[in-house]
């Protein structure tokens, strides 16, 4: 092996040069490691179809029979940086309301880096419902001439809608309603069945039997809303106001 003798000054110069090279190589490696994944690009058509099918199925589960469901899939946030993924799985996030503006989850299940993001979707549910035949002022007590039936996007309506006039006739509007607007529960005042302190009849029901008893209402009984009732022995139950001085408890 050839050995070369260096004077102290030359040796020091060589050591500094080597250290500089090592530092440069290390910096290059660090920069390479920190390169971000490419931005999220256009979604694969097969994935879009899968997302649409998932949203359609979830929306139809809560839709009236013969309703027409339309799903528009949005775009991922352009600021996202997602690593390549061989398999992306769409899913419905827990507790996510699927009607109207909603989101579908996308998670990478086969890739060097697992990720989980959400994709915006717009879900319309077209069905028949009762709407206002003319513009109506707040406080209007609904009569037959105020109603007509039409196909609307019920996913865009606050509250529930109906095709049964009997659920609306005689009910006052809680706000102004324009012609063609759905007459959902969000537009009518809830019927008051009893006042706080009234004696009410409590029906406790379970498959195969029903038990009735009397108690004192601890709050106002608005149609379909929960209310607490105290019995003579001091025990209280929570039920639902369903009729004139009547509370239903499901066991």
Residues 52 and 116 in one domain: yes
Q: Give the chain's end-to-end CA distance (angstroms, integer).
A: 94
Residues 202 and 240 in one domain: yes
Residue-wise pLDDT for 211-225, tens only, equals 889 999 999 998 888
Question: 158, 187, 216: which is the final residue of a domain?
Answer: 187
Residues 173 and 219 in one domain: no
Residue found under tokens 């879900």:
123
Alpha-carbon dihedral sign for residues 157, 158, 164, 168: negative
* C-alpha dihedral (235, 241, 247, 250), degrees to nearest 10: -80
Residues 52 and 107 in one domain: yes
pTM of the shown model: 0.64
Residue 2 inside a domain? The answer is no
Burial class (CB in 10 A: 0-12, 13-18, 19+), 121: buried
Residues 49 and 120 in one domain: yes
Residues 120 and 130 in one domain: no
Residues 80 and 91 in one domain: yes
Query: Distance (Å, rounded) from C-alpha 98 to C-alpha 155?
Result: 9
Residues 63 and 75 in one domain: yes
Task: Name the residue range of residue 58's domain.
Answer: 45-124
* Whole-number pLDDT of residue 40: 57
Number of compact structural domains in the chain: 3
- Residues 136, 159: contact at Cβ < 8 Å? no
* Whole-number pLDDT of residue 200: 96
Residue 94 inside a domain? The answer is yes
Residues 173 and 228 in one domain: no
Question: 145, 171, 187: which is the final residue of a domain?
Answer: 187
Residue 82 inside a domain? The answer is yes
Question: 187, 215, 239: which is the final residue of a domain?
Answer: 187
- Residues 197, 216: contact at Cβ < 8 Å? yes
Residues 120 and 175 in one domain: no
Q: Give the CATH number, domain containing residue 200.
A: 2.30.30.760
Residue found under tokens 């309703």:
67
Residue 15 inside a domain? The answer is no
Q: Give the CATH number, domain containing residue 135.
A: 3.90.1210.10
* Whole-number pLDDT of residue 76: 92
Residues 52 and 103 in one domain: yes
**Can you give the pLDDT of all 251 residues of the chain as single tens digits?**
434 444 444 444 434 444 443 333 343 333 223 333 444 567 889 999 999 999 999 999 989 989 999 999 999 988 888 999 999 999 999 988 999 999 999 999 999 999 999 999 999 999 999 999 999 999 999 999 999 999 999 999 988 899 999 889 988 999 999 999 999 888 988 888 999 999 999 998 777 777 889 999 999 998 888 999 999 999 999 999 999 999 999 76
Residue 25 inside a domain? The answer is no
- Pair of tokens at residue 243: 């009729």
DSSP conformation class of 37: P
Residue 13 inside a domain? The answer is no
Residue 79 inside a domain? The answer is yes
Residue by residue, what is the 3-state secondary structure of 142-203? CCHHHEEEEEEEHHHCCCCCCCCHHHCCCCEECCCECCCCECCHHHECCCEEECCCCEEEEE
* Whole-number pLDDT of residue 6: 43
Residues 150 and 106 in one domain: no
Residue 39 inside a domain? The answer is no
């Amino acid at each position: 092996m050839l050995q070369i003798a260096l004077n102290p000054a030359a040796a020091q110069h060589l050591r500094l040069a080597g250290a500089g090279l090592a530092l440069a190589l290390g910096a290059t490696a660090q920069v390479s490691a920190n390169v971000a994944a490419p931005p999220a690009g256009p979604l694969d058509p097969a994935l879009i179809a899968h997302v649409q099918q998932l949203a359609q199925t979830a929306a139809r589960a809560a839709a009236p029979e013969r309703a027409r469901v339309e799903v528009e899939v949005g775009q991922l946030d352009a600021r996202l940086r997602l690593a390549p993924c061989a398999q992306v799985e769409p899913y419905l996030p827990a507790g996510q309301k699927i009607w109207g503006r909603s989101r579908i989850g996308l998670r990478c299940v086969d890739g060097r880096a697992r990720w989980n993001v959400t994709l915006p979707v717009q879900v319309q549910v077209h069905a028949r419902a009762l709407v206002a035949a003319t513009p109506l002022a707040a406080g209007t007590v609904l009569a037959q001439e105020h109603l007509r039936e039409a196909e609307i996007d019920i996913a865009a309506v606050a509250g529930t809608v109906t095709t049964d006039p009997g659920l609306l006739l005689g009910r006052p509007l809680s706000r102004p309603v324009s012609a063609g607007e759905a007459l959902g529960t969000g537009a009518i005042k809830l019927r008051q069945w009893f006042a706080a302190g009234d004696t009410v009849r409590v029906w406790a029901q379970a498959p195969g039997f029903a038990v009735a008893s009397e108690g004192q209402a601890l709050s106002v009984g608005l149609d379909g809303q929960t209310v607490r009732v105290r019995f003579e022995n001091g025990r209280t139950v929570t039920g639902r106001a369903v009729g004139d001085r009547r509370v239903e408890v499901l066991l």
